[in-house]
Amino acid sequence: MMLAAARRPTRRIDVGRVPIGGGAPISVQSMTITKTADVEGTLAQVYALAGAGADIVRCTCNDQAAAEGLARIVPRSPVPIVADVHNDWRMGIAALEAGVQCLRLNPGNIRRPDRIKLIASEARDRKVPIRIGVNAGSLDKDLYDKYGGATPEALVESARIELGLFEEVGFDEVKISVKASSVPLMVAAYRLMADTVDHPLHLGVTEAGPPPAGLIKGTAGIATLLAEGIGDTIRYSLTADPVEEAKAGRQLLEAMNLRDRKGVDLIACPSCGRAEIDVIQVAKDAMAAFESENLPVQVAVMGCVVNGPGEAREADIGIAAGRKRGHLFVKGKVVRVVPEDEMVEALLTEARLLVEQGVEARLAAADEGAAEEAEKDRAELLDLQGDDANASEVAVELIRKSLDGR
């Protein structure tokens, strides 16, 4: 199994009870899209994000009503809250008074050094970290002109200037992002940032747009860096319900073995002429059935019994269709044969039992004769459809004979 590169060492900060950097698990973030002054609406979204896998949630703090809303939200939130401070430096102080666990400052917005240092001093005294959130779209004009555009060097210098102001007041509880909507620019900027400082890095492709294109862009940038060992916390920026951001972040980390599995990992064959069922629809039905279960299992939905259980033998549990029946298997071994219209229900029931009892117990509880029934179905389908695998071996033997004679 291929693993991501060893993570680059960074110093650690704590956003509330969530550690970031220093070898801590990579965390998932998202942001509410409600008006922060709407306390109940914002809290409902925070809880939905936490349920979808977000470890940290950011809320806007753009005016007094938002700051007052934060004061009521923070004590009731299930996860740490980050306040996004925009152009008004006073909102940074107000958010700290509200009790937030982190601030996000964009160097392109609050530009007066005295005000930036004042916020940093207040955060230092409260032991509240700050994210320096550089954005290619709001880069300081002087840096833009100096580098002839939003280049990786310009983004990194913007962060370093802000970092220097923090250092003047003895504040170093910092994480940094250097985001861009261009994936190559974002990747290059983070690589340079990782080579420049040892502060934890917050990864993201900003303004990625709606799914599926936004998911592809976000994954292209974030996963590339994670595979190189760069990154300590991540956020997808999608034009969609933010719950989709949290889900995507969690699923990405699980897929890369960077976080323990929390929910189902559903794999399915792409379907072909051999498929005995509508694989796409059954996979959708299975995903819907498992979505609210939070079962930490890998589930396979395969279109035929000829190759299905063998190809998906590494899955914890799966189902393969054949002759109006489904072959339910655990770690590639058939344990039950069920009617086609009961496949998804049987799969969910067996998955629950698998989590509760373990693999060996479920293999021991296999229905008597299930393996033999499954093999009979498989043999009959082979007679009807042929065996691609066996045909391949015949072709290989013909190639060998042909080459031996030359």
Using alpha carbons, select from 162, 145, 57 the residue that is nearest to residue 106.
162
| No. of helices (H) and no. of strands (E), the chain | 15, 15
Instruction: Please give the mean pLDDT across all residues of the chain.
Output: 90
pLDDT at residue 381, as a whole number: 73
For the 265-389 domain, the top CATH level (class) is alpha beta
pLDDT at residue 406, as a whole number: 65
Beta strands 81-85 and 317-322 are unpaired
Cα distance between residue 114 and residue 251, in whole Å: 42
Instruction: Determine the CATH number of domain 13-255.
Output: 3.20.20.20
Query: Residues of the chain with pLDDT > 90: what percent?
Result: 70
b/e 370-383 (16+ beta carbons within 10 angstroms → b): bbebbeebbeebee
Domain boundaries, the chain: 13-255, 265-389
Cα distance between residue 65 and residue 88, in whole Å: 13
pLDDT in tens, 186-234: 999 999 999 999 999 999 999 999 999 999 999 999 999 999 999 999 9
C-alpha dist (Å) from residue 139 to 134, 190, 393:
7, 16, 60
Residue 393 has pLDDT above 80, yes or no: no
| Amino acid in position 330 | V
Q: Give pTM, 2 decimals.
A: 0.82
pLDDT at residue 4, as a whole number: 55
pLDDT at residue 389, as a whole number: 45
DSSP string, 89-153: HHHHHHHHHHT-SEEEE-TTT---HHHHHHHHHHHHHHT--EEEEEEGGG--HHHHHHHTSS-HH
Cα distance between residue 15 and residue 102, in whole Å: 6
pLDDT at residue 2, as a whole number: 46
- pLDDT tier at 385 (50, 70, 90 boundaries)? low
pLDDT at residue 386, as a whole number: 55
pLDDT at residue 403, as a whole number: 82
3-state class (DSSP) for residue 78: coil
Among 134-138, 194-198, 266-270, 350-354, the least confident range: 266-270
